[in-house]
A = this chain, B = another copy of it.
Amino acid sequence: MHNEFVDEQLNERLARTGSRLTAQRREVYSVLLQKRDHPSAEEVFIRAKGRMPDISMATVYNCLDTLVKCGLVKQVHHDRGATRYCSNMNEHHHFYCDECGGTYDIDTDPEAGHPAMTLPNGFRMRSFEIAFSGLCPQCAAKKRHK
């Protein structure tokens, strides 16, 4: 997962915002590419520490910020929980499992356009996000067997 190609991409993107490619930024980004389960900053910190024991929490926040600014990572918010980070930059929405708390990407159906909902006059929409909630496949299956 940490290879020349990723590095090049990363470097190019960082350069656009005048930022440098550092070991910490590479590590943080690779954590996000490795397991796309929308970890919080804390979780990224723990995972990054595995291979880079001296990395600090502040640096994790800094790196995540930088990656967001250069468009390689997106923040995901749900309720008032900690910010989660997502390296899937395709247009998509999120499903939040009520049972296990997991967050899942829901790809936007390319043929379905905007939500079937008309905004009142005067509003100018720039974007929209749909937050689905319910049971994820695993939790739904468990429930059925009870």
Contacts and interface: CB of A to CB of B under 8 A. Distances in A.
A4 interface: no
A88 to B, nearest CB: 14
Q: How many protomers of this protein does the assembly include? A: 2
Interface stretch (A23-31, A62-70, A130-138): A130-138
Contact of A140 (B79, B123, B131, B137): B123
Interface of A: 75, 77-80, 83, 93, 95, 98, 104, 106, 108-109, 112-113, 115-137, 140-141
A83 B81 CA distance: 11
Nearest to A131: B129
A130 to B, nearest CB: 5
A124 B112 contact: no
11 contacts: A77-B80, A80-B80, A109-B116, A123-B137, A123-B140, A124-B140, A126-B133, A126-B135, A127-B133, A128-B130, A130-B131
A48 to B, nearest CB: 21
Given A115-B115, A123-B135, A124-B134, 6 more contacts: A77-B77, A112-B116, A122-B141, A123-B132, A123-B136, A124-B135
Contacts of A123: 95, 104, 132, 134-137, 140
Nearest to A95: B123
A118 B134 CA distance: 14
A121 B129 CA distance: 21
